[in-house]
Amino acid sequence: MKPDPLIEIDHVTFGYDASRMILRDVSLSFQRGKVTSILGGSGCGKTTLLRLIGGVHGASSGGVVFDGELVNARDREQLYRLRRRLGMLFQFGALFTDLTVFDNVAFPLREMTDLPESLIRDVVLMKLNAVGLRGAAGLRISEVSGGMARRIALARAIALDPELIMYDEPFAGLDLISMGVAAKLIRTLNDVTGATSLVVSHDVPECMAISDHVILLATEGRIVAQGTPAELMASTDPETRQFVRGEPDGPVKFHYPAPELDADFGLAA
């Protein structure tokens, strides 16, 4: 049976300016109902991919197809319609600090639906219960920990029961216990709701534990490898091996390209 992708990235090239391209002729597909992790070092274009899918930016060339529909970053009506079908967990939560936990999760329901407040209350409490924080509904954001804030943001991301959930660095800044809880939540929510999940991260163990498919990106969006977690962990490709095993020496260099040290400090003979 032919795979049925929800998202297709078709020969996409993108750069914030002409001097530095972030993605160059990238083609990918993300299958329905699966957890796909996009791994890679900082600056390789992982978050940029999510922004292109959400229509925050338009591709310089190529296209992004969401459920058979070409995403047009300039078509506000289309973007509003498509964005109702996706949930986004931002890298640092992006919670409203002047609202309570309850009101943060209720925000998309109040903005995007005509549900009565009594039903919104039930939905919010169910979403908070799913992330283990129903008892924190009345707290202010300043009263919760970083790990709790990440779970609150996840509850908000799933408030509208999205078909697509995108996670931007969901494990960043979390302790090991919170990291394990977040990883389990991503997998469980995907399986229970039947959603499609895209996880952008550089945390290899967590992503390998919960993903159906893994994509490894390098500079300018170059696809180094993709496959199941087992396939990437068993890879003999030097660049893939270096990243998934965290080896300091290999094709990926620590230093950004620069002139010789002597030249920069005026020590050249």
pLDDT in tens, the chain (269 residues): 456 789 999 999 888 876 778 888 889 999 999 999 998 877 778 888 889 998 888 888 889 999 888 998 888 888 888 888 888 888 767 888 888 999 999 998 998 888 999 999 999 999 899 888 888 898 998 888 877 888 888 889 888 888 999 998 888 777 787 788 888 888 988 888 888 999 998 888 889 899 999 999 887 778 888 899 999 888 888 888 887 776 655 556 545 556 776 666 666 55
Dist. CA 204–CA 209, nearest whole Å: 9
| pLDDT given for residue 121 in this prediction | 93
Dist. CA 147–CA 135, nearest whole Å: 15
Residue type, 178: S
Q: Is the pTM of this model over 0.85?
A: no
Residue 143: Cβ-neighbour burial (10 angstroms; 0-12, 13-18, 19+): exposed
| pLDDT given for residue 258 in this prediction | 66
| pLDDT given for residue 196 in this prediction | 92
Angle between helices 146-157 and 101-112 (to 10 degrees): 20
| pLDDT given for residue 80 in this prediction | 87
| 168 conformational bin, left if phi > 0, alpha if psi -120 to 50, beta if neither | beta
Residue 101 in contact with residue 139, Cβ under 8 Å?
yes
| pLDDT given for residue 4 in this prediction | 79
For 98-138, give the DSSP string: TSBHHHHHHHHHHHH----HHHHHHHHHHHHHHTT-GGGTT
Domains of the chain, CATH where assigned: 5-249 (3.40.50.300)
Dist. CA 183–CA 223, nearest whole Å: 24
Dist. CA 232–CA 194, nearest whole Å: 25
Dist. CA 58–CA 23, nearest whole Å: 12
Please give the C-alpha separations between residue 206 and each of 32, 48, 81, in angstroms, as whole numbers.
21, 21, 32
| The two three-digit tokens of residue 252, written as one number | 């990926």
Instruction: Tell whether the torsion through CA atoms of 218, 224, 225 and 230 is positive or negative.
Output: negative
Residue 144 in contact with residue 152, Cβ under 8 Å?
yes
| The two three-digit tokens of residue 203, written as one number | 């945390």
Q: Which residue has the tokens 């890879």?
A: 235
* Among candidate residues 207, 200, 247, the one with its CA nearest the CA of residue 40: 200
